[in-house]
């Protein structure tokens, strides 16, 4: 039987990722569950600020097949005001300490070096930094640990990033940013095995033109001749509402799942999502299609 070939299963070619206590491999795409312990997250602000609510949500995501949990104590939605250091620490550190024995890698979504240090001491395995370790002290905060590092591209800063962002070619410029960051980090003592890359959907990109160019050419954001794991984070974002007409983030579950599958088809090794169960189901179907299209021959 003949069938049309599917796009390359590029995520499987990603190199292993050293992530604190864990070494992640990518025979299949991994799911990172989002745990916002903030009062003003764009999608679920306030629901999981209380420690017990956060722990219950983490447990549910792990039951639903989350491979990682990403804990955030400060919203980085467009226009979001900064959260004071003490408040961010108060939100995230007890949650990290409580989840340390949960059996999955714990990521901390922060750009503050002091939070990075405290989170690593509390048991975090990854630093997920929207600034890509560009802020003063960030590189020093992670250099001597074994944590994974997610380097994200952002044009501008959260307060202003969506005010008419301009690129000559968004895919090329994101790739060039990654190339610069990789040179800086590896020369600064960070091993390449600790790094994954996030093109930063919605962070200084126009809703449709820039975001969908990045999704369509997702694998091309990878620096040439490299195998860094690529992370896609589009869950419930405005880029999905812009094409579906769904104005409320909670209405964008189906669009989020579709975007995640599109990213995996184009090389995403990790998808960062709010809706773990729905994403897991979709990826199981995707994997079954892949297996049927490329069956293993037995003698």
- pLDDT tens, 102-126? 999 999 999 999 999 999 999 999 9
The beta-strand segments (E) located in the chain are 17-19, 22-24, 30-36, 68-72, 106-109, 126-129, 148-152, 195-198, 231-232, 270-273
Which residues of the chain fall short of a pLDDT of 70?
1-12, 40-46, 297-299
Per residue in 152-174, pLDDT (tens digit) is 999 988 877 888 899 999 999 99
Q: In the structure encoding, which two tokens stand for residue 190, read together?
A: 């960070």
Q: In the structure encoding, which two tokens stand for residue 241, read together?
A: 């509402």
Cβ neighbour number for residue 291 with a 10 Å cutoff: 10
Per-residue pLDDT at 44: 55
Cβ neighbour number for residue 3 with a 10 Å cutoff: 9
272 included as an active-site residue: yes
Q: Classify domain 26-77+86-292 by CATH number.
A: 3.20.20.20
Per-residue pLDDT at 6: 41
Q: Give me the residue spans of the domains in the chain.
A: 26-77+86-292
Per-residue pLDDT at 296: 72
Q: In the structure encoding, which two tokens stand for residue 12, read together?
A: 């499987």
- Please tell me which residue in 205, 237, 252, 266 is annotated as part of the active site: 237
Per-residue pLDDT at 2: 31
Task: Say how far apart CA 108 and CA 80 lie, in whole Å.
Answer: 18
Task: Say how far apart CA 247 and CA 278 lie, in whole Å.
Answer: 20
Q: Are strands 17-19 and 22-24 parallel, antiparallel or unpaired?
A: antiparallel
Cβ neighbour number for residue 132 with a 10 Å cutoff: 23
Q: In the structure encoding, which two tokens stand for residue 194, read together?
A: 């600790």
Task: Say how far apart CA 86 and CA 88 lie, in whole Å.
Answer: 6
Edge-first strand order for the sheet with 126-129 is 195-198, 148-152, 126-129, 106-109, 68-72, 30-36, 270-273, 231-232
66-87 core/surface letters (b: 16 or more CB in 10 A; e: else): bbbbbbbbbbbbbebeebebee
299 three-state secondary structure? coil
| Residues 279 and 28: beta-carbon distance below 8 Å | no
- Please tell me which residue in 112, 205, 236, 272 is annotated as part of the active site: 272
237 included as an active-site residue: yes
Q: In the structure encoding, which two tokens stand for residue 25, read together?
A: 């491999």
The beta-strand segments (E) located in 83-123 are 106-109
């Amino acid at each position: 039987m003949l069938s049309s070939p599917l796009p390359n299963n590029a995520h499987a070619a990603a190199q292993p990722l050293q992530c604190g206590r864990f070494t992640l491999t990518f025979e299949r795409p991994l799911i990172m569950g989002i745990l916002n312990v903030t009062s003003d997250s764009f999608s679920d602000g306030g629901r999981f600020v209380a420690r017990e609510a956060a722990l219950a949500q983490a447990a549910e995501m792990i039951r639903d097949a989350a491979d990682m949990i990403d804990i955030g104590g400060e919203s980085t939605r467009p226009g979001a005001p900064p959260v004071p250091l003490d408040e961010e620490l108060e939100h995230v550190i007890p949650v990290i300490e409580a989840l340390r024995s949960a059996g999955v890698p714990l990521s901390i979504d922060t750009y503050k070096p002091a939070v990075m240090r405290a989170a690593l001491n509390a048991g975090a395995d990854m630093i997920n930094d929207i600034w890509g370790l560009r802020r003063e002290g960030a590189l020093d905060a992670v250099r001597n640990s074994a944590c994974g590092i997610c380097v994200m591209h952002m044009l501008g800063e959260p307060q202003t990033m969506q005010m008419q962002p301009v690129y000559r070619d968004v895919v090329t410029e994101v790739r060039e940013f990654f190339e610069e960051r990789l040179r800086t980090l590896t020369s600064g003592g960070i091993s390449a095995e600790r790094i994954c890359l996030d093109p930063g959907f919605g962070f200084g990109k126009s809703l449709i033109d820039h975001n969908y160019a990045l999704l369509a050419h997702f694998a091309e954001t990878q620096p040439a001749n490299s195998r860094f794991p690529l992370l896609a984070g589009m869950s419930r974002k405005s880029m999905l509402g812009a094409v579906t007409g769904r104005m409320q983030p909670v209405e964008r579950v189906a669009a989020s799942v579709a975007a995640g599958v599109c990213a995996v088809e184009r090389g995403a090794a990790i998808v960062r999502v709010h809706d773990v169960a729905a994403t897991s189901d979709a990826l199981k179907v995707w994997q079954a299609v892949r297996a049927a299209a490329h069956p293993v021959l037995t003698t």
